[in-house]
Amino acid sequence: MTESTKPAEAVATLAGGCFWCTEAVYERIDGVGDVVSGYIGGQVVNPNYTQVCTGRTGHAEAVEVHFDPSKRTFEEILEIFFKTHDPTTLNRQGPDTGTQYRSGIFYHNQEQKQIAEKYIEKLNQSGEFNRPIVTKLEPATVFYPAEEYHQDYYRRNPNAGYCQMVVRNKVRKTNIEFRDKLK
């Protein structure tokens, strides 16, 4: 396949708490290429992990999900997102608290924004969650890739304590819920 016949890649930027969890989930999905952990939505230029962890930079831990839209729709990416984190807790995912762990969709165009708005409305009306969804929709701004040791964290550190206690459960849920979408 030549570069000109290669299908266009789409990008979804999602914050679902700890980026290690979100990255591990999407790395398993067929039609998803690269998943990059990083920081978005803040005021500090080129922040580092220590700065973001203070909660004072305004950034969220997020992932850029690069996917093939001929294999996965943006709505399917959102379905996975909403089933693998708690979108009803403000600035919190499990043991992680602070604005850096907020639930957010950083849309890249008006189509992504509209799809996300409709998806959230559908979920709120479905009764699937016992509280309203607090996932924030924000325009995508500069995405800063996290330090190298954060990339592919679960794959490289499956026996780390946080991976055993938190990430593994999200991976297990993904393997069960989305077995028809796995690589």
141-156 pLDDT, tens digit each: 999 999 999 999 999 9
> pLDDT (tens digit, 9 = 90+) per residue, 63-85?
999 999 999 999 999 999 999 99
CATH code for the domain of 65:
3.30.1060.10
Six-digit token pair at 78? 């959102």
For the cut 90, the answer to whether the pLDDT of residue 28 exceeds it is yes
For the cut 90, the answer to whether the pLDDT of residue 23 exceeds it is yes
Domain count, the chain: 1
Domain that holds residue 73: 10-175
The bridge status of strand 103-107 relative to strand 136-139 is parallel
**Which secondary-structure segment (H or E) carries 33?**
strand 32-40
| DSSP states along 16-29 | ESSHHHHHHHHTTB
**To the nearest whole percent, how much of the chain has pLDDT over 90?**
93
Residue 5 — very low, low, confident or very high, per pLDDT cuts 50/70/90? Answer: low
pLDDT of residue 135: 98
Does any domain span residue 183? Answer: no
Q: Which of 18, 21, 53, 163 is catalytic?
A: 18
Does any domain span residue 92? Answer: yes
Say which DSSP state 182 is in.
B
> pLDDT (tens digit, 9 = 90+) per residue, 103-126?
999 999 999 999 999 999 999 999
C-alpha pair distances (Å), 97 with each of 37, 56, 104, 132: 18, 13, 14, 19
Does any domain span residue 180? Answer: no
pLDDT of residue 95: 83
163 is catalytic: no
